[in-house]
Structure 1
Amino acid sequence: MSSYKYRLILPLSLIILIVLASLGAILGPLFKDFYLEGMNDRIAKESLVIAYHIEDIELNETEVLQNTVIELAERLDIRITIIDAEGEALAESTGNLEDQDNRLSRPEIQEVIKNGAAGRSVRVSNTVNEELLYYAIPLEDNGEVKGYLRLSLAMDELNSVYQSIWTLLIVSFFLAFVIIVLLTTKITNQMVKPVEEARRVSNELAKGNFQARTFDVSDYRTGELNRSINVLAENLQQITNTYEIQQERLETLIENMGSGLILINTKGDITLVNRSCKDIFDENTDQWKNNLYYKVIKHKYVNKFIQEIFLSEKRTRRQIKIPVGIYFRHVDVHGAPIIGHDEKLKGIVLVFHDVTELKKLEQARKDFVANVSHELKTPVTSLKGFTETLLDGAMNDEKLRKKFLTIIANESERLEGLISDLLELSKIEGDHFQLNWQKVNIESLVADVLLILNDKAIVKKMRIETKILGDTWVEADPHRLKQVLINLIVNAIAYTPEEGVITIRVKEQAETVLMEVEDTGIGINKKEIPRIFERFYRVERARSRNSGGTGLGLAIVKHLAEAHGAKLSVDSDIGRGTVFRLVILKEKKESKSM
C-alpha cells in the first residue's frame, strides 16, 4: 500500500510546492513594492516637515542645525543628513560627521541635481553598513540651491516582512504536505487497501493457500472484485479438497492393493512402487524410487519384460518366476504403455500378481487326486485280488481262507481309516466347523492317550517318557486336542525304529503351555519340513505305507492347531529324530474357531 501512497503524495506535494513558490515569486515583489511605496510616501511627507523646521536656520549654524536634526530624527525615527552644495555633511542625526566622503556622488543626490526634484535610491550605506531607503530634496534660498536634505529609513522591516511572506509560504507548504499525507493515507485506506487486500489473497491463492479470504466487501468500488475472489477461493478449495480426497483414496488403494505396482517414466526412472512389491521381490523397494529400473531390479526376466514393453508399446502379459531365497515366487505380470493425449509415450505401468499360492493349490489338487486315487487303489486292488483268489478255490483251504480273510479285513480297516480321515479333514476345513471350548488338563489328556497307544509302543519295544512341569490347564476342545496328541504320537511310533524312545513334554509358560513330542526316529530332511503337513505327503512312501498310516494325520494336526490359535513348529535331524512343538494359549481369544 505504501507504494500507492507515495505515488499520490509525490505529485500532489510537487504541485503544492510549485503553486506556493509561484505565489512567493509573485506576491513577494508585490508586497515589497507596496511596502516600499508606503515608505516613500512617509519619507516624502517627513522631508517636507523637516525642511519646514530648518528653513530659518542658516547652514553655517552647524551646532544648532545638528541639535535640531538629532531631535527631529528621534521624534520621527528616521536618519537625517544635511549636506551643503559642495557635498559636505553639515549635520548628521547619527552624529558621525568624520571621515565622510563627498555626498554629491550618491545616487539620490545625483538624481536631485539632474532633475531638480526629489531623488530616491535603495542601497547599502557605507556609513552604517546596512540597506537603507534614501530620499533627498534640495534646500533652496531664493531659487538657489544652498544644500540638500537627505532622509534614510532602514529596510529591515521591509526585509522582515518579505521573509515573513516566505516563512508563511514554507509553513503553508508543510501544513499542506501534512494534510496531503493524511488525506492520501485516508484515500489509500479507502481505495487502495481493498485492492491491496485482493492482491494479498490472490498471492495466497497462487501459493496454494485456498483458505485465504478477503473480508473487505462493503466498498462499492472493490466489493464485487473481492466477492469474486472469495468465490474463486471457495471453488479452488473445493476442487483441491476433492482432488486431495481422490488422491488420498488412490494412494491408499495403490498402497494396499494385493498386487505389486510399478510406474516407470520414459527415462527409465521408477516413479512409483507400492508396498506389495516388497513382499513379491523380498526387498526394500522404497529405495527403488527415482532410480533407473535396470540398476535396482536384479531379475533379468523382469528387465527383459520391461524393455519389451518400451519397444513394442503394447499391452503384454507374462508369467515369471522370481527367486526368493531357495524358493521361487510365481508372478503373473501385466505391462502396459502409458499414452498421453498427444499420442506420445509417457511411461509404462507394471502390475505383479503373486500366483504362488494358486500354483501350490493347483499342484496340491493334482497331488490330492493322484494320492487319493493311489491310496484307494491299493486296498481296493488287494480286496479284489484276495476275493477273486478265494472265489477261485482258496475258500476250501481253511488255512488260506483265514489268511486271506485277515488280509481283507486289514485292508478294509485301512480303507475305512482313509475314508474317515478324508471326511474328518473335510469337516475341519469346513466353514461351519466349531470347537467345544472348555477347561482341559493336558497332563490328564496325555495319560489317557498313553493308555490308548501303549500297546502300539510295546509291539515295537519302545519306551514312552513324560515330563510335566507346572500348571497344564488350558482352554481348548478336549476331543480335538486329544486327536492332535494321538496323531503326533502315532506318527512318532510309525517313524521310529524298534527300541526307540518317545518323550512327551508339557511345560507351563507365561500365557501359554508348551507341548513337545520328541522321537529318536529317522528324521526329516530340512527341505521336506514345509511339506510334511500336506495331504498324503510322505517322507519315505514305501515305509510310510507299511506303517499303516493314511498320510492325512499331520494335515489334520495342522488344521486343528490353527483352529485352537496354537503355534505348531517342527525341528528335525536326519538319523537323530524329530520334535513337534505345539504352543497353546491358556485362555482362548474371541475368534478361535474356524
Structure 2
Amino acid sequence: MRRKRLIWQIYPTYLLITLVSLFAIAWYSSHSLQKFYYKQVATDLEAKAQIIKNQVSENISPIHALYLDSLCKEIGRISSTRITIILPSGKVIGDSHEDPSIMDNHYNRPEIKDAITSRNVGTSIRFSNTLKENMMYLAIPVEQDGKLTGVIRTAISITKIKQVLKGVYLNIFLGGVIISFIFALVSFIISRRISHPIEEMKRGTEHFACGDLDYNLPIPNSAELGSLAASMNQMAAQLREKIQTLVQQKNEQDALLSSMIESVIAVDLNEKIIKINRAAGELFGINPNNIQGCILQEVIRNVDLQKFTKRLLENHELMEDEIVIYNKNGGQFLQAHGTILKGFEGIEIGALIVLNNVTKIKRLENIRRNFVANVSHELRTPITAIKGFIETLRDGTINEKKNAKRFLDIISKQVDRLNAIIEDLLSLSRIEQEDEKSEIILEKGNIKDILEVAIQDCASKASENNLKIDLTCKQDIVANINAPLFEQAVVNLIDNAIKYSEPGTSIHIDAFQTNKEVIVSVTDYGCGIEEKHLPHLFERFYRVDKARSRKLGGTGLGLAIVKHIVLAHNGRVDVESKVGKGSKFTIALPISSS
C-alpha cells in the first residue's frame, strides 16, 4: 500500500480539528442564543402580564367577564400577544383570540396549574389546540387580600421566535464557512512548514543509506528539527569514523593472524576453506592466498585433521584434541582447538580450528603444556558478522551500492543490538540503585491514562504486525506509581506480546481494582511458553528461544526490567502460559504503598 506524504497526514488532522471546533462553537452559540432569546421572551411576557395584572387585579370575577374579555382583545391586538384571564376554577373569562364561552376549562394546563398551586410564575411551551400552533405560555397568579382570584396568562407564537432565530443562525453559518476557509488555508501553510524540513531530511537520509556519509543535512530553523538534523549529521560522521575503524581493525586482525605463530584454519559447513593464516600455510606447505574455497581434504592430506574437523561440525560444540602430522621437519605434535563459527543471527556458518605446535613442549617434558590460549572464546557472534561483512566490503562489494547498503545495515543492526543491551543494562542498574536509595517517588496516578499512553507508544509496531490492542479499564482506577517507570514496564510487556503474537490476532490489556490491589494484565494469543521456562523468565539474559529472540531484536533484559520496576512499586509480577494458546503477564500493585 502506498504511504501518504506527511503533509497529507498533518493537514487533514488540523482541518478536522478546526471544523469540529467551529461546529462545536456554532452549536453552543446557537443553543445559548436560543435559550437567551426564550428567556427574554419569557421576561417580556411576564412584564406584559404584570401590567395587565395591575389593571385588572380588582376586577377579576365572572360579573366583569365582558370587560375583561374586551380588555384582553384590545391589549392583545396592540401588543401582538395572546392574553387570557382564567378564574381559579380554570374557567376562561377573557381571551384576546377566542370567545371565552366556547373555550375549554384551563385548570389542567401546565402553566395554569403551576401558577395556581405554587402561587408563582408558571411557564410552558406546547401545542395550542385553540390556535393550532406551538406557543410559549407564561401565567402569573392574581391575589386579592391573600386570596387567589385568578390567573393572567400571556403567550406568543414559537414560529415568530424561530423566524427571528433563523436569520441569526444563517449569519452564524455564513461566518463559520468563511472562517473555515481561512483556517483551511492557514492549516495548509502550517502543515507545509512542518513537513518541508522533514522531507529535506528524508532526502538526506537517502544519501546516508546509499553510503554517502559525507553528505550534510541542511539545518532547519526550528529548534527540534534543527537539533535532529545536527544529530543525524553527527551520527553520519560517527558512522563514517566507525566504518574506518572497523576496516582498520580488520586489517589489524589480518596482520595479527599473519603474525601468529599458531596455525588458524576457518572452514564452512561443507569443509571448504574460508581463511588460513601464514603459520598454517608454512606448517602444511601451502600458499594461503590460493586455497580459499577449496575443500580441506584436497589441500591438507591429514587424516587426524580431517576427522577432527568432521567431528567438530557434527557435534556443534567446543572440541580439543591432539593431531600428529608429518612434514619435512619430521613428526609434529599439534594441539587442536575447534569451535563453531556463527553468523550475525546465531546461525552456524562453519568451524574455526586453531593449531598450536606443541612439539617442543612434548620434547621438553611438557614444560609449556598449558601455553596454548583458547582464542576462540574471544571471538563473538557480532564481531564475526561485522568482520565478515567488512571483509566482503573491502573485497569490492562496497562499490555495489545495493549490497553495500545491505551489509552496512547488518553491521548497524549488530551495533544497535549491542547498544540496546548496554541501554537496558544501564536502565536496569539505575532502577536498582534508585530503589535501594529510596529515590523512586510514587504518587497517585490514573492507571487508564498511563495504559493509553503505553498502547499509543506500541501502536505503530502492532499495526506493522497486523495486531489489535484492546483495553479494558475504568477511568477512576488510581494507584501509587512512578508514571514513567510504570509506563516503561507496560510498554515492555506489550512489546513482548507483539513479538510473540501471530499476525491477525489481538492483545488484551485489562485493569481492575480489588480491595487491596490494582491488577493490570497483558494477554496475547501467540506461541506460548513451556512450563519449565516460566520460573526463569524474569532472569537477566534468559531466553526461551534464543535464535528467535535475537532475530526479533530482543536483548534478554525486557522482562527483568519489568520485574525490578514492579518490585520498586512494592508489587509483584506473575506469568501464566500454555504452549500454542498464548501467555498472560499480570502486574499487581498495592492500593496504598508502604
TM-score, normalised relative to structure 2: 0.34
**Which of these two proteins has the greater Rg computed from alpha carbons?**
1
